[in-house]
Amino acid sequence: MPMHWDSPRLLLLLWLLPFMGLLLWHARRKRRQAAERFADHPMLVHLQPTAERWRGVLRTVLLLAGVGLLVVAVARPRWGLYFQEVRSRGVDVFVLLDVSRSMTAEDVRPSRLERAKSDIRDLLARVRGDRVGLIAFAGAAVVTVPLTTDHGFFEMVLDDIDTDSAPRGGSLIGDAIRKALASMPVEPDRDQVLVLITDGEDHDSFPEEAAQAAADRGVKIFALGLGDVEQGKRIPIRDERGSLQFLQHEGQEVWSKLDERVLKSVALTTGGAYIPARTSAYDLGQIYEDHLAELAQGSAVTERRRRYRERFQWFLAFGLGCLLLEMTIPRYPRKRAPSPRTELSR
């Protein structure tokens, strides 16, 4: 039976169990040596009763087993296949996320890129049942998540997105639009939308022509512009020692500003909308409700998706049971009270 894990990396913590065992053995040995320095052996027998070996072994085994089972529970094991029906509405949403170096500018806190990722998560909360995909672009466009209704997988990939998720060498908005159109199947019964999140800087990728190709297919583009439109912001770079520097070109620091012209043109060409987020807060989920939700006019589709049942409860229960049982076993045998006959015979 195949077993799946939500956080398999946490299983590496199991390598700590042998070290815990050695530490417990070492601590027990140190306690015994300290007691022997404190008193002679005849007196030590009365002060510190000799513990049966099986008690120490059993307590150690229960403690290590309990910790190991809790680690396995935290890794979230799953097995037992079942199928879940997911109802998909008639909208495909491809998010085009700019991951070029200029998106690390901090005129939007904590940075343009991190703010964009946070608001994409807000969007996911509003697109229940819609198919969503993710394209990261800079010097080239990369499909990091194909269209899917598995929003959990989408969010897991989104967490790992950074400026290394696409080849560097500029910001090619037109290429990102063309990549999305090529990755989006032509389905007349589904509305299709591109959500473009960028600071608007483009390096000769002909985004207006790509937008016209999208308009010819009936694909709307909603563009969100991030960054300061007036002064702009320097692009931070950290060297190998972690010290902060700023990107330079021909000896001059590069200042990145929001270029709204291209974004307005792209949105207008497709009948979408341009949202000038700039440096202010915005709610991408609410933007979806205001501009995109009414597009869900296509026929709904029901998909059967493979799922595996959560089984961490078993390991959690047994792990806690082992720890509780270990606490109930006394380290030393309890002394029995002398019987009345023994006292009288004396």
Q: DSSP for 135-203?
A: EEESSSEEEEEEEES-HHHHHHHHHT--TTSS--SS--HHHHHHHHHHHS---TTSEEEEEEEE-----
Whether 338 has a pLDDT exceeding 60, the answer reads no
Give the predicted TM-score (pTM) of the model: 0.62
The torsion angle over the Cα atoms of residues 257, 261, 266 and 269, rounded to 10 degrees, is 170
Q: For position 268, what pLDDT does the model report?
A: 94
Q: Tokens for 153, please give them.
A: 């997988």
Range of the domain at 138: 90-299
Give the model confidence (pLDDT) of 30-77 as tens digits. Answer: 877 766 666 666 665 555 555 556 677 888 899 999 999 999 999 888
- Asked if residue 295 belongs to a domain, the reply is yes
Q: For position 193, what pLDDT does the model report?
A: 92
Judgement on whether residues 45 and 174 belong to the same structural domain of the protein: no
Q: For position 288, what pLDDT does the model report?
A: 72
Judgement on whether residues 55 and 151 belong to the same structural domain of the protein: no
Q: For position 216, what pLDDT does the model report?
A: 94
Q: Where are the alpha helices (DSSP H) in the chain?
A: 16-38, 41-47, 53-74, 112-124, 151-159, 173-183, 207-216, 260-270, 284-287, 312-328, 340-345
**CB contact set of 7 (below 8 Å; sequence gap of 6+):** 74, 75, 76
Residue at a domain's end among 263, 278, 299: 299
Q: Is 54 helix (H, G, I), strand (E, B) or coil?
A: helix
Contact 246, 272 (CB under 8 A): no
Judgement on whether residues 202 and 286 belong to the same structural domain of the protein: yes
CATH for 200:
3.40.50.410
Across 170-174, average pLDDT = 88
Judgement on whether residues 74 and 206 belong to the same structural domain of the protein: no
Q: For position 30, what pLDDT does the model report?
A: 80
Identify the CA nearest to 96 among candidates 111, 116, 114, 112: 116
- Asked if residue 85 belongs to a domain, the reply is no
| CA dist 122 → 59, 87, 190, 289, 334 (Å) | 48, 20, 23, 11, 60
Give the model confidence (pLDDT) of 183-232 as tens digits. Answer: 998 887 778 999 999 988 888 899 999 999 999 999 999 999 998 888 87
Judgement on whether residues 133 and 173 belong to the same structural domain of the protein: yes
pLDDT band of residue 168 (cuts 50, 70, 90) is: confident
Q: Which residue has the higher pLDDT, 80 or 117?
A: 117
Judgement on whether residues 106 and 234 belong to the same structural domain of the protein: yes
- Asked if residue 304 belongs to a domain, the reply is no
Which range, 98-107, 122-131, 287-296, is most confident? Answer: 98-107
Q: Is 97 helix (H, G, I), strand (E, B) or coil?
A: strand
Q: For position 25, what pLDDT does the model report?
A: 85
Average the pLDDT over each of 90-94, 109-113, 336-340 and give the range with the smallest value: 336-340
| CA dist 223 → 57, 173, 214, 216, 325 (Å) | 65, 11, 13, 18, 60
- Asked if residue 119 belongs to a domain, the reply is yes
Instruction: Give 119: exposed, middle or buried? Use CB within 10 Å, 0-12, 13-18, 19+.
Output: buried
Judgement on whether residues 191 and 327 belong to the same structural domain of the protein: no
Q: Is the dihedral of CA 124, 207, 233, 157 positive or negative?
A: positive
d(CA 31, CA 24): 11
| Percentage of the chain lying above the pLDDT 90 cut | 32
- Asked if residue 32 belongs to a domain, the reply is yes
d(CA 331, CA 50): 9
**Residue corresponding to tokens 């029995």:** 336
Residue at a domain's end among 299, 319, 335: 299
Q: For position 333, what pLDDT does the model report?
A: 63
**How many folded domains does the chain comprise?**
2
Judgement on whether residues 47 and 70 belong to the same structural domain of the protein: yes
Judgement on whether residues 32 and 117 belong to the same structural domain of the protein: no
What Rg, from alpha-carbon coordinates, does the chain have?
31
d(CA 192, CA 198): 20
Q: For position 209, what pLDDT does the model report?
A: 95
Q: For position 339, what pLDDT does the model report?
A: 55
Q: Is the dihedral of CA 47, 52, 58, 60 positive or negative?
A: positive
Strand partners, 248: 253
- Report how far apart the first and last C-alpha atoms of the chain are (Å, whole number): 68
Number of neighbours of residue 87 by Cβ within 10 angstroms = 11
Average the pLDDT over each of 92-106, 165-179, 289-303 and give the range with the smallest value: 289-303
Q: For position 263, what pLDDT does the model report?
A: 93
Judgement on whether residues 59 and 120 belong to the same structural domain of the protein: no
- Asked if residue 270 belongs to a domain, the reply is yes
Judgement on whether residues 123 and 268 belong to the same structural domain of the protein: yes
Judgement on whether residues 36 and 112 belong to the same structural domain of the protein: no
